[in-house]
Chain A
Amino acid sequence: MNGSNVRIGELDLANPVLTASGCFGYGLEYDEFFDVATLGGICTKGLSLEPRLGNPPERICETPAGMLNAIGLANVGVENFCTVKLPTLRERGVTVVANIFASSVADFVKITERLEAEDGVHAIELNVSCPNVTVGGIEFGKDPKLASEVTRAVRQSTKRPVWVKMSPEAGDILAVGRACEEAGADALTAINTIRGMSIDINTRRLRLVALRIVWDLCGAVSIPVIAIGGIATWQHALEFIMAGASAVQVGTASFSDPCAAKHVMDGIAAFCSQNETTVADLIGAARSS
């Protein structure tokens, strides 16, 4: 796709549209809908060291405020991912971002080392919106020191780009972002869902919160920022890109339309060709004026 390609640190993406973790399975569920290799990339369901069954029912519920979910980070575990899911993704040429989570720095490192043994993983995204059990259950992502510690440890165990997914719960999200940059993160993704009592709330307002955070982060760090939060159309995606995001992730929009990310991708390409511009030129366009 001409004019759509973007660079996230060392990583070249065919276009700026990825799918968000937990909203796209392992990318293998889309055969009948579209070729996921055409996307900028997919972020896998969060992977842990051991498989996790997840929470008992009910896990989802829709309220006038948005979608509540309590999936419980159910996933097949990093080993099964490497031996069962990844070979197919690799064969199809999909750009894979492995989203990982753990409750200790040591486990984050173990997962990273397991992934390091495999070809076909293009970046690692740290879900730091989970409690660190070794320091009394404080979320990694809420504290600049904890976030930087986990980022540095993962950074040292892989040659691949490391992205850190910002938690909107952080008191000083800019401090957390800067700490991760300093610890060697190649990019920041923002934001994870907002949580209330271990229930994630995808409110309709999430996009506005995310837009503000992305704007501020882009001003605070010099590494690329990848935007997530309520992006359902190419217009939403361009708002974030013009605010400074280098790429976007489509989350819950894929639930109601499996082709949502494709529509966003195609819409951006059409916009660029109609306006004889490139995505690279649009990044941060709203900032310079």
Chain B
Amino acid sequence: MEHTAPMAARRMITAPLLHRESIGASYHVLTFDVPEGSDAQPGQFAMVRGAEWGDAPLLPRPMSYLTGGTTPSILIKVIGEGTLRMGRAEPGEPFTLLGPLGNTWRPPSRNRRPVLVAGGVGIAPLLYFAKQIAADGATPLSIYGGRSSRDLPLEDELSEISETHLTTEDGSRGTRGRVTDVLESLLDAGSEVYTCGPDRMMAAVAAICAKRDVPCQVSLETPMACGYGVCLGCPVPTTDGGYLYACMNGPCIDARLVDFSRSDHAPRKVATTAGGAK
């Protein structure tokens, strides 16, 4: 695809959990001990699974890198069995990490200001990216929203390195409303937008950017079985009527390629096939 970055070598490693930091009841930062280091770059992800989970859950779960290096970490939101187990893990528990997978955020053009739009746990790949931008001497603009103040994990870390606007739907923190309300007023012709969050939020952000002719990258979220291109379980509808595969062509991708009207990742019935098995 257009901006597939050169990939670091993918590896499967078993690493012990170094520590788990809980942020409220639903969010946890898990940090792993990987002495040989990880080449993970902002936007990339790992397939993560407890090495001692046994048969269930069977599949590893895709998680964006929050940091890389010798202590790679992830931010998880508890939504089901896999994330529940991660949220209960104790230091020393072994995990398998397959990564780094997928491509990275495409670096901002020289004359554009990066605008990061995050929803809830979607902060993970964007905070890592913000740190990289800040290390290069720039200050990104961030818009970070959640349902309430409890859904803004790591907001303080983000505020330290970026000009940050917070929004909550219940008004318990920052501006009452949605990230898109603030985006409308802050966006200018020199912006370059990066977004990660619920599908519907990314679709709205992409629509605003398209209208204003501002480049926008999204980080695709779909269930994944393998994470490296062999199961074909992660299709994302494209505007030309076909599919991209989130793990291979993404997760970071130009928003103009994605047909959000056909991409509904809300849990629903599995489509039936005329073509038979698989």
Contact = CB atoms under 8 A, between A and B. Distances in A.
A73 B59 contact: no
A91 to B, nearest CB: 20
B58 A67 contact: yes
B59 A67 contact: yes
B49 A256 contact: yes
B278 A24 contact: no
Contacts of A74: 232, 235, 243
B240 to A, nearest CB: 11
B2 interface: no
Interface stretch (A56-64, A118-126, A264-272): A56-64
A56 B49 contact: no
B25 to A, nearest CB: 23
Contact of A193 (B59, B235, B265, B278): B278
B235 A32 contact: no
Interface string B198-239: 000000000000000000000000111110111111111100
A128 B218 CA distance: 40
A274 interface: no
Interface in B44-63: 47, 49, 55-60
B264 interface: yes
B264 A57 contact: yes
A77 interface: no
Contact count band on A: 35 or more
Interface string A1-36: 000000000000000000000111100010011000
A257 B96 contact: yes
A33 B11 CA distance: 7
Contact count band on B: 35 or more
A185 to B, nearest CB: 19
A232 B225 CA distance: 15
Nearest to B243: A53
Interface in B225-271: 225-226, 228-237, 242-243, 262-265, 267-268, 270-271
A198 B273 contact: yes
Nearest to A22: B278
A266 B200 CA distance: 47
Given A69-B225, A197-B272, A198-B272, A29 B230 contact: yes
Contact of B59 (A55, A62, A198): A62
Contacts of B229: 25, 29
B276 interface: yes
Contacts of A29: 228-230
Interface in A217-264: 252, 254-259
B58 A62 contact: yes
Contacts of B98: 257-258
Contacts of B242: 53
B263 to A, nearest CB: 6
Given A53-B243, A59-B232, 19 more contacts: A22-B231, A45-B232, A54-B235, A55-B273, A58-B223, A64-B56, A67-B59, A67-B225, A72-B271, A129-B276, A130-B275, A131-B276, A193-B277, A198-B277, A200-B277, A252-B225, A255-B226, A256-B47, A256-B58
